[in-house]
Amino acid sequence: MPSFRRIGLIGCVGVLPLLAPLRAQPAPDGRAKLVALVVAVQEADYRGDLGRLRSLAAEMQPYTTEPSLAAAARYWRGFAHWRHALNRLGDGTPGDSVDQDFAASILEFREALAINPADIEAQIGLAAGLQNRAYFSLGAPERAATFVAELAPLLRQIRGTAPNNPRMMFVVAPSLFWAPPGRGGDKQQALALLERGIRLAPLGTPSADSLAPGWGEAELHMLLGWFSLNLEPADSGRALRHAEAALALRPEWRYVRDNLLPQIRQRIRSGPAGATARPRAKITTVAYRVHRMPAMLAFYREAFGVQFREVDTGGIRSQFGEVDGITLKFVPIRDAVDFENFPAHQLGFEVPEVNAVVAAARKHGGRVQDAPRRQDGQVVAAIRDPDGNTLELYGSR
């Protein structure tokens, strides 16, 4: 994948070329058909299936003339075009080669806003398209200025109107991360915005409208992973955790699986440029065996602001939350025997060489609980230290 700095603001919207209107008319059950197309668009996006995205955008065209479906059809055509462009960029297509796509996408979102000027999701899409066109026009300042003139107030508007919308955060955060400080850029503010979105996402109530956008949580994890990799110095541990969280939410996401995670793991293996030594280890997870789960969740939320999400951990419904880059895991105790077999608490370490730590445990009287194995492109294992405490290990080898 090309440099993120080269492909620009990943929260931006890109599109397919405009497609000629189709003559087919929507069927009587048009809403159900459009819902099915929307589901298919999102699946094709995460798989990186460019041909499928293109054909699905064409299939949605007839619904743009149906009064009850037109606004949604325009939005989701814009979404299909957007993800088509991002996948093209991820595959190495130069940014200036997709400018026409951006323009066509902007047109779709403008059409949605012509139907409903208060549509916040279409406003977010429009902001993303303008942002990308501005970025790829930096070599032509006058042209870029025309996009920025409309973009700047629009970014302020969507932040004020939808402060808890994860899609707004996905679009606004890149403008904060990449802009120079003198022009409103603030990397830490961008990271904080994404972290806030990740905390809030599990608490949101899904819309009853099956055509309303609901994506965003996985994208926030992905973007935070990418930004963490591009800090100076890079925070590879945080990048890895959030990329893995994005893939856990969207296991079929080709970009994260095949592009982002390999970049992060390569950085972990090689260390930062010019480094003479690598850290021995970094704590990435802390697990608690929890008996009073509702009370524990309520306490940690109120006292420390931790927002939890439910995760299936080997058939056990655990609760995971983030605290300053460390994943806090609450694993329910099922019975007394279960508690006796496992310590109450458990640390997880990111280390350069998992096998070296396993060997050290054996040397000093510890033992292996789960032998090293390769999972999702990295080596994972679990050991007991000399006192019997369980440690999870994650590393590149």
pLDDT tens figures, 68-105: 999 999 999 999 998 888 888 877 777 777 888 888 88
* Mean pLDDT for all residues in the chain: 82
Output the CA–CA distances (angstroms, integers) from residue 243 to 6, 155, 260, in the order listed. 20, 26, 7
- Euclidean distance between CA atoms 158 and 179, whole angstroms: 18
Q: What would the two tokens of residue 319 be? A: 């609760």
The most confident of 102-106, 124-128, 175-179, 277-281, by mean pLDDT: 124-128
- Euclidean distance between CA atoms 35 and 41, whole angstroms: 10
HSE on the CB side for 303, CA within 13 Å? Answer: 6
Whole-prediction pTM: 0.65
pLDDT at 131 over 60: yes
Rounded to 5 degrees, φ, ψ at 205 are -95, 120
Amino acid at 170: F
HSE on the CB side for 267, CA within 13 Å? Answer: 22
Lowest pLDDT segment from 69-73, 100-104, 142-146, 166-170: 100-104
pLDDT tens figures, 297-318: 887 787 668 888 888 776 778 8
Residue 58 CA, chain-centre distance (Å), reads 27
pLDDT at 354: 85
pLDDT at 9 over 70: no
H/E element, 142 = helix 141-161
Q: What would the two tokens of residue 316 be? A: 């056990």
HSE on the CB side for 19, CA within 13 Å? Answer: 23
pLDDT tens figures, 192-250: 999 999 998 888 788 899 999 999 999 999 999 999 999 988 999 999 999 999 999 99
pLDDT tens figures, 37-50: 999 999 999 999 99
Structural contact between residues 13 and 81, judged by C-beta atoms closer than 8 angstroms: yes
pLDDT at 278: 47
The DSSP line for 49-95 is -HHHHHHHHHHTGGGGGSTTTHHHHHHHHHHHHHHHHHHHHHTT--G
Could you state, in order of their start, the residue ranges of all structural domains in the chain? 4-215, 282-395
Calculate what percentage of the chain has a pLDDT beyond 90. 41
- Euclidean distance between CA atoms 367 and 351, whole angstroms: 18
**With respect to CATH, is domain 282-395 assigned 3.10.450.200?**
no
H/E element, 391 = strand 390-395
Q: Which CATH class is domain 4-215?
A: mainly alpha
pLDDT at 31: 94
Tell me the pLDDT band of 394, cut-offs 50, 70 and 90. Answer: confident
Residues 6+ away with beta carbon under 8 Å from 242 = 198, 221, 222, 224, 225, 228
